[in-house]
Homo-oligomer: A and B are copies of this chain.
Amino acid sequence: MVRIKEIPAPAVRRLSLYLRHVELLSGRGERTVSSRQLGEALGLTGAQVRKDLSHLGSLGHPGIGYRVDELIVRVRRILGTDTSRNVLLVGAGNLGRALVSHRGFAKKGFHVVAVFDDDERVVGSTLDGAAHLVVRPMIELADTVRKKNIRMAILAVPGESAQSVAEQLWEVGVGGILNFAPVTLRHVDCAIAAVDLAVHLEQLSFRLGNSRVG
């Protein structure tokens, strides 16, 4: 039994990257991959790869490396994405609409099954590319979370409403929030992942400056 509480956060982040890469290999018909190959593809040492994957229990086969299909199953199981999960979205603006139709989510087993907004002009309308989703008023939140067994939410509301919505999500028992609002959420005892889009541009900016200097 793997004691997943003991996997360091950076290793958990890399598990997602390993998974992406071995899914790609699987799609190409590859059957095995070595720690060195995985490391080269992701810019890590083979030793780092072996250390990270040792958290998944015994997996490597001497002289063969890792079996691609076995690796995919184990990583998905540890990430909790081996079964599909129902997710709700709050905020039916441009970003929310884009996220609902984002094919990357469903491909990874995350299904947006409900959309909420507190704007009366939007409530009751349907979304392009997701006509089965009718935008619901916030007052139906608790009921929907219970009926659809939802534990994760995507927060795509303006910064000024984000904290209050996060508190409502926490109160109705949502355990994880993916926050796109450009504010830090406080006083909610959920797992929170923040998507700070400007950070990515900053990192690009650094690499541009770097290549100019180099």
Q: A residues engaging B (CB < 8 A)?
A: 4-5, 9, 12-13, 15-17, 19-20, 24, 43, 78-81, 85, 87, 93-95, 97-99, 101-105, 107-108, 110, 128, 151-152, 154, 159, 175-178, 182, 184, 191, 193, 195-211, 213-214
Interface of A is mostly: helix
B159 and A213 contacting across the interface, CB-CB below 8 Å? no
B105 and A101 contacting across the interface, CB-CB below 8 Å? no
Residue of B nearest to A101 (CB): B94
What residues of chain B lie closer than 8 Å to A20, measured between beta carbons? 196, 199
B198 and A104 contacting across the interface, CB-CB below 8 Å? yes
B205 and A81 contacting across the interface, CB-CB below 8 Å? yes
| Cα A43 to Cα B192 with chains together (Å) | 14
What residues of chain B lie closer than 8 Å to A213, measured between beta carbons? 4-5
What residues of chain B lie closer than 8 Å to A198, measured between beta carbons? 104-105, 107-108, 110
A209 and B79 contacting across the interface, CB-CB below 8 Å? yes
Residue of B nearest to A106 (CB): B198
How many copies of this chain sit in the oligomeric assembly?
2
| Cα A72 to Cα B198 with chains together (Å) | 16
Residue of B nearest to A96 (CB): B98
| Cα A172 to Cα B211 with chains together (Å) | 17
What residues of chain B lie closer than 8 Å to A99, measured between beta carbons? 197
B4 and A79 contacting across the interface, CB-CB below 8 Å? no
Listed from nearest, the 4 A-B pairs whose CB atoms lie closest are A80-B209, A95-B98, A94-B98, A191-B207
| Cα A4 to Cα B97 with chains together (Å) | 39
| Cα A154 to Cα B204 with chains together (Å) | 11
Residue of B nearest to A177 (CB): B204
Of the candidates B102, B152, B205, B210, the one whose C-beta lies within 8 Å of that of A152 is B205
Of the candidates B4, B79, B104, B210, the one whose C-beta lies within 8 Å of that of A196 is B104
B182 and A204 contacting across the interface, CB-CB below 8 Å? no
| Cα A180 to Cα B17 with chains together (Å) | 16
Of the candidates B93, B200, B208, the one whose C-beta lies within 8 Å of that of A151 is B208
B108 and A78 contacting across the interface, CB-CB below 8 Å? no
Residue of B nearest to A183 (CB): B104
